[in-house]
Each structure stands twice: as structure tokens, then as C-alpha cells.
Amino acid sequence: MFRFHSLLLFRRLRRHRRQFSSATSHPLELPLSHPIYIIWGSNTGIGKTLVSTGIAASSLLSSPSYFHYLKPLQTGFPSDSDSRFLLTKLRHLFLRSTGPRPSLSASHVLLNASSAVTGNRGNDARFPEEENVVGGEGIGSSRLFCKTLYAWEEAVSPHLAAERESGAVEDSVVLETLQRCFREVVESGVGKEKSEVMCVVETAGGVASPGASGSLQCDLYRPFRIPAILVGDGRLGGISGTISAYESLTLRGYDVVAVVFEDHGLLNEGPIMSYMRNKLPVLVLPPVPKDPSNDLMEWFEGSHNLFSNLREIMVSAYLERVKKFHDMPRKARDIIWWPFTQHKLVPEGAVTVIDSRCGENFAVFKAQSTEVVAPLFDACASWWTQGPNAILQAELAREMGYAAARFGHVMFPENVHEPALNCAELLLDGVGKGWASRAYFSDNGSTAIEIALKMAFRKFSVDHGLVRNCLEDTTNERSTELMVLALQRSYHGDTLGAMEAQAPSSYTGFLQQPWYTGRGLFVDPPSVFMSNNTWSLSLPEGFQIENLKLGNITFASRDEIFLKGRDTSELAAVYSSYISKLLSGYRGSNNIGALIMEPVIQGAGGMHMVDPLFQRVLVNECRSRNIPVIFDEIFTGFWRLGVETAVDLIHCVPDIACFGKLMTGGIIPLAATLATNAVFDSFIGESKLKALLHGHSYSAHALGCMAAVKSIQWFKDPCSNPNATSGGRLLKELWDDKMVHKISSHPAVERVVALGTLCALELKAEGRNAGYASLYARSLLQNLREDGIYMRPLGNVIYLLCGPCTSTDICNQILVKLYKRLEEFSGSNN
């Protein structure tokens, strides 16, 4: 529809093509010093450039200001150039302008181009390197900067042009180039008011048209999440196209601040405004003259008020966004009550404003000299739940939309729906494979644990003859005081039932849990860790006497720790006799109705790795006594430890296991308790009162089940997860072995545990510096925040958690940064 010309500065060519890779070498920041917008079209040829031009004109003509126009991807070049079109029209509009007007100086530039275009360069006089245009005179000076970032000759979609002209450009390169341009926007605006400088980025084709790498542009630009203007379609069929394009943008988390389209006499604005529920301005441009010889000057002048209006909308939405960022920390401190947080220790400046997340990164507001929205690697994996990279997050977003539209929520008892059934099948065939027969859904880890305890106690009661006559007993009388066998430093959730199954700790004092009594025998387990380059075993005090003959036990490698062959070792016999002695010496051992433990890694207790041999012996000892075994896999499940289930590490199975957190890919709460048929059978009878009378309204809610199905399949499939090996039961090693060793030898470090997506380290600390309430790690973590890494400590234990799909490159970068900050920390603490 429009035919333009443009200019050329220099070339940089990348041939390597990687689908939808937006991992850049530097973090991508969106500056907030001035309004930056992205212009999307609901189709190609819909007038995006007219809109860009109109906005530019309204900026530059009304008062002295700077305007940056960026066209990242241009095809049909050089005969087509949106940048050139805009410049030409602006120049003409300036020349026609009659009132007092600022002077205009304008430059346009082609940053990088594909080989085809750059091949032409030397021969084509149409591409002077830079052109300055000065027009008008008067009250001040305005400046227009136009840039085309990448261009191809053929007038087709960028991915096709790039392919045919061997001129592909990686997503990360486009994003980095764009970021450099944003920096120039900032530099140009030094000393200017916020609204005196504006930048628009004009996309190519429709919202979901592929970019040069083949990634859809709405995915490609997502890491910046630039506020958007959608140019809609006023033609027949345009209502549908506009609404669908809008939905594709919102499905990627974009905020659209206005919709604008050309009038074709069909009143498309009616249904579009009705769809938007009047929450978004919809602007209708006068019909564009179809005669190609028309220079559109009258059209632009006739549209001036509308574009001024649009520009005002853009400026005020921008100002409102910045204001919100400033206000949010105070508001949050005023009305929110954070969990696990002493509010007195959180000054306003310490509140992190999270604008969004993209894959493993938060995008946070930073109020530095230039305010920006900048990425932070979420090394808490949003408190242990998180798994998706940017691609999976986008897929999950579509799944969530679909699930909510198809199912909303439907109640579960005696019903079945596809997401719940698929999820149950996937769990039993994955984390429950080989032992579990039933899936019981609940909302979070705590509830999954409470359900598991009820299951185990029932099974125990049936097996040990405690159910006689108590079926109809609803009184308070308890014939038997059932107990759990559990480990010191365990943590199974925050609700009272889950709490009762853990040893006394900082979390269980009277002030925290007035009803806590700790109904269990809590065993201090042997732990393993890396220290000074070596994996060692640490035996608790109870072992000391027998330990004399064992000496100092170390392992040649981490793999050795997990060998099933250790069952025949001397240590196994020591463990077995230790446990037997413990149980026989315990007064209430006949009332121990369940063994409950986190296999391999104790999370909240301080990221301790328990000797898997000890846990296996414990399971065997309980099984021989007919005590049901519960694995709390809420933290450890779903590749958190590099395996689908920790069963693959400790080589023994439970009767009941609990899952949550990463199960849904870390997107919404859902938990499951899996059980054997034998456990299930202990609830079967003639009366409803024998059934498991525990359930939550949202049991097996469709959104959660669908997220779980998608995520589990995604993590398991080597086609989607590059880290998946061994048919999806294993992840490849994510943390660089050399770096882990190096860290383990650092003088500030007591111990390291690197396994799967977890890399934890305990800082050497004593007295008040040690333990859960310690603030010892604070300065270290603050420095890492500067490096773009967001961590949250467990006292003097700090950890990095990535997702099952996180690239080893990213993990390495983080370890290197951590080591560097450890050096400083060490210095400051000596």
C-alpha cells in the first residue's frame, strides 16, 4: 500500500539461526525516562506507518521535542522503507506548517542489513549514510531520529526473506540492537522533560507475523513488554481481525493502551468498543485517499487532532505507569501482610516491584539514575515452584486461557473431566510409576501432607487392628495416640497437621504454633555435602560410638552416594542397627503410624542432603514393621533434583507420596497425594463415614491439571526441553562441576550441595549469624541483586534454583557471578 525509501549506515550479519532464542548476553532493560511504545498491526498493510507518522507529527509539530522512530525489521527494501516514508511525510508537513513552529532536524539510518541488501549498498546511490533535513524556523528545535534495524529485499515476511536471502538474524541480536537504540533515546533526552521525547517501535506485518528467525514477533519482543498501540482493521472482517490480534497480544502479557484504525464506513468501532467494555480508547481515522498520487498532506492535517489525542493517551498512560511504580512499595507496606516476613525489617526501598516475568526472569522496576524495568534471574524459582522458560510460559498462558474458557472450574467428587484424568494418568505413569495406583488432588503441599498423614494412619490402623468399633465414633476419645517417625530438620508445610509431623524448630514455638506438640519420633539423620572439593558424610552425635570404627567417610563422586550397591556396605548395617535400637528404645514405638520424610534433600530445613542410604534403610525398617511410608516430594519432585522423582535417587518406593510446587510448572497452586491400592482399600466400605472425608472446593481444578499436564510433558520431552536425557527421566548436569568445586573450596563456604536444578551453599557462620533468623547473607545477596540475580536466604544458607529447561550457559554465568561476590563477601567478613 505504501512505498517508501530509506538509508543505510553499516552492516552486521549473523548467519546462525536459532528459533525463538532471546537469551541475550546482557540483560535487556526498558528505560522509563521517556515514553516508548510499540506499534502492532492486526494485519499487514493496515496503516501502522501512517499511525507512526501521525504520532510523530503530533509530537514534533505541537512543541519542540525529540521523536525516535525504530523499524526493527523491514522487507521489500530498499523500494519499501517505512522509515523513509515517515521522514518524507514529516518533512513535507513541516514545510506546510503555517503557525509558529519549531525547527526540525531529522536523520535516518539503516543499522544492519541482510547480505542481499548490503550487497546492493555500494551500487545504489539511494542510500546515503545519513541525511539531515532541517526545515522551518521559530520557537525551538525538534529532532526526528529514524532507524531501520534490519532489512531484506523481497517483499515477503521477514522469516521468508531472511531465509531466501541468507540473511537470518537471531532474536537476541534484534533485541540487543533495539536496546542500544533505547539507550540512544535516553541519551537524547538528558535534561529534557519526560514527555519531550518519545519513541515508537514499528513491527512488521501482523502481531503474530514471524520475525527474521521465524519467532512470531509478539514472542520476539516479549522480554521488553513495551506498552502497545494496536492498529486495527476498519474493513469487512476487520472487527474479527482486530479483536483476535488484540487477544494474541494480551495472551503474551502486553498492555495495549489504544486501538486505532481507518474508517471504512462499516462502524467497526461499535463492536470493538463493546468488546473492550469501554476500558480502552478506540480511535477511528478518516478514510485514507486511495489515489497513489495523493501526498496525504491533507489527510494528516485532518487527522491532527486525533493523533494529538492518541499521543496524549500514550503520554498519560506512560506517566501513570511510572507513577504506579513509585507508589507501589509504599502501598504494599501499608496494606499487605507478607508471609515469613518481619515487616519492621523491610524498609520501603527494599520492596521489589515486579512488573512481570519472562521465563526464568522477573522484570523489576529499578529507580536508579535512569529508571528502568530490568530483568532479575529468579534464583528462588519463585519460592521453589518455578520451571518454565519463556517459551513454555507462553504455551502455559494459552493453556490457561483455554482451560478457563472450556472448564472454568467444575467440582470433582464422582465426576471426571479430561484435564484431571490426563493429569492423574501422567502422575501415576511418571512420579508414581511402579508403585502408585491412585491420585488424590488438593491445593498445596501442606494439604497434600495432611491427606497423606490421614491415609497412612488409616492404613496403619486397619493393618494393626485399631479400627474395631471406632467407625461411628465421633467423640473426642482416642484409643491410640498415633505418632510419626520423621527426621530432624524436616519441614512438611505450615498447617498444623503438617507441622505436627516435624521436629521442633524456629517455626514451632508457642508464639508461632500455639497448638504444636510435635507428635513424632524425630531422628537426626546423617547428611552428605561437598566441602573443599570432596563429598563427605557427616554422622550425627547418636552415631558417634559406632562411628569410631567407620572413620571419616568420603565419596569419590556424587554419583557414588546414590549407588544401590551401598546396601551391602558396613555403613548400611550400622544404619540398620542404629534405627532398630532407636525404635526399640522408644516408648511409643508401637504407635508409630507413619514414616514421613523428604527424600534426599530437606528443603526449608536448610537444603540438607540426607544420606540416601540411610533413608533407604529407614524405609526398609519401617516396611518390615508394617509402617506406611510417606515421601514428601513437594520440593524434590519433577526434575527439581535432576530426576523426575527422588525415588530414582534413593532406589526405594513409598506407599504414599506428596507433590506440588513445580507440578504445574510453577504457575498456579495444585497438589497431589499418590497412594498404593492397599492404602486406598483401607478407606473402602459400606459407609460414607469410612471414606476419606477431606477435600477442597478446587480439588483437581481444570487450570491446575492442565498446567500440570503441559509442564510435565514439556519437561520430559527432549524436543521441548534441551536438558532432558534418558527419555525424560533425567536432566543433564546443569551446574558446572569445576565451578561447584571451586565454590566448595572457598573459605567463606561451609558446604555445597549441587544436584539437579539446585545449587545450595551454607556460609560459615557462628552464633547469631547462623540459623534461620540470621541476616548474615544480606550484603552478599544485595550485591548479587546488582548483578541481576534475585535470591532469598534461609538464614546463612543460600541457594540457586533454576528450572528444568534453563540453559547451562545461564547457570554458568550465575555461578561465576556468585563466586566473584563470595570473594568480596569473604573480604568484608574477615
If one asks whether residue 205 binds its own copies (CB under 8 A), the answer comes out as yes
Rounded distance, CA 731 to CA 102, Å? 62
If one asks whether residue 457 binds its own copies (CB under 8 A), the answer comes out as yes
Q: Which residues pair with 150 in a beta bridge?
A: 73
Q: Which is nearer to its own copies, 134 or 236 (CB)?
A: 236
Among 28, 207, 228, 284, binds its own copies (CB under 8 A): 207
If one asks whether residue 532 binds its own copies (CB under 8 A), the answer comes out as no
Helices (H), 97-222: 115-121, 158-164, 171-188, 217-220
Cβ pair 165, 154 in contact under 8 A: yes
Question: For 736, how many CA atoms within 13 A lie in the half-sphere containing its CB?
Answer: 16
If one asks whether residue 194 binds its own copies (CB under 8 A), the answer comes out as no
User: Whose CA is closest to 614, among 485, 476, 770?
Assistant: 485
If one asks whether residue 397 binds its own copies (CB under 8 A), the answer comes out as yes
Rounded distance, CA 597 to CA 605, Å? 12
Q: State the minimum distance, in angstroms, from the CB of residue 49 to its own copies.
A: 14
Q: Which is nearer to its own copies, 135 or 605 (CB)?
A: 605
Q: Hey, what amino acid is at 791?
A: M
If one asks whether residue 414 binds its own copies (CB under 8 A), the answer comes out as yes
Specify the pairing of strand 103-110 against strand 520-523: unpaired
If one asks whether residue 675 binds its own copies (CB under 8 A), the answer comes out as yes
Rounded distance, CA 821 to CA 815, Å? 10
Among 28, 50, 595, 703, binds its own copies (CB under 8 A): 703
CA quadruple 561, 565, 568, 570: dihedral positive or negative? negative
Cβ pair 174, 24 in contact under 8 A: no
User: Whose CA is closest to 358, among 325, 398, 396, 391?
Assistant: 391
If one asks whether residue 230 binds its own copies (CB under 8 A), the answer comes out as no
Among 99, 349, 413, 767, binds its own copies (CB under 8 A): 413
Among 370, 437, 745, 779, binds its own copies (CB under 8 A): 437
Q: State the minimum distance, in angstroms, from the CB of residue 382 to its own copies.
A: 4
Q: Which residues pair with 283 in a beta bridge?
A: 260
Q: State the minimum distance, in angstroms, from the CB of residue 167 to its own copies.
A: 17
Among 101, 454, 716, 751, binds its own copies (CB under 8 A): 454
If one asks whether residue 729 binds its own copies (CB under 8 A), the answer comes out as no
If one asks whether residue 402 binds its own copies (CB under 8 A), the answer comes out as yes
Among 241, 637, 654, 788, binds its own copies (CB under 8 A): 241
Cβ pair 115, 13 in contact under 8 A: yes
- Show contacts with its own copies in window 632-671 (CB under 8 A): 660-661, 666-669
Q: Which is nearer to its own copies, 311 or 519 (CB)?
A: 519
Number of residues that bind its own copies (CB under 8 A): 189
Of 165-173, 204-212, 577-585, 639-647: span binding its own copies (CB under 8 A): 204-212
Rounded distance, CA 89 to CA 109, Å? 16
Q: State the minimum distance, in angstroms, from the CB of residue 393 to its own copies.
A: 5
Exposure class string for 45-78: b at 16+ Cβ within 10 A, else e: ebbbbbbbbbbbbbbbbeebbbbbbbbbbbbbbb
Cβ pair 632, 453 in contact under 8 A: no
Q: State the minimum distance, in angstroms, from the CB of residue 523 to its own copies.
A: 17
Q: Which is nearer to its own copies, 351 or 770 (CB)?
A: 351
Among 157, 179, 303, 645, binds its own copies (CB under 8 A): 157
Q: Which is nearer to its own copies, 634 or 752 (CB)?
A: 634
If one asks whether residue 320 binds its own copies (CB under 8 A), the answer comes out as no
If one asks whether residue 428 binds its own copies (CB under 8 A), the answer comes out as yes
Q: Hey, what amino acid is at 819?
A: Y
- Show contacts with its own copies in window 376-395 (CB under 8 A): 378, 380, 382-386, 388, 393-394
User: Whose CA is closest to 160, among 148, 171, 168?
Assistant: 168
Mutual orientation of helices 82-96 and 48-62 as an angle, nearest 10°?
Answer: 40
Contact string (CB under 8 A) for its own copies, positions 593-632, x = contact: x---------------------------------------
If one asks whether residue 248 binds its own copies (CB under 8 A), the answer comes out as yes
If one asks whether residue 718 binds its own copies (CB under 8 A), the answer comes out as no
Cell 519499501 belongs to residue? 80
- Show contacts with its own copies in window 34-63 (CB under 8 A): 42-45
If one asks whether residue 544 binds its own copies (CB under 8 A), the answer comes out as no
If one asks whether residue 475 binds its own copies (CB under 8 A), the answer comes out as yes
Exposure class string for 443-452: b at 16+ Cβ within 10 A, else e: bbbbbbbbbb
Backbone angles phi, psi at 71, to 5 degrees: -120, 100
If one asks whether residue 27 binds its own copies (CB under 8 A), the answer comes out as no
Q: State the minimum distance, in angstroms, from the CB of residue 129 to its own copies.
A: 31
Rounded distance, CA 684 to CA 642, Å? 37
If one asks whether residue 114 binds its own copies (CB under 8 A), the answer comes out as no
Q: Which is nearer to its own copies, 121 or 409 (CB)?
A: 409
Question: Distance between the two ends of the chain, CA-based, in angstroms?
Answer: 70
Helices (H), 4-122: 48-62, 82-96, 115-121
Among 408, 718, 727, 747, binds its own copies (CB under 8 A): 408
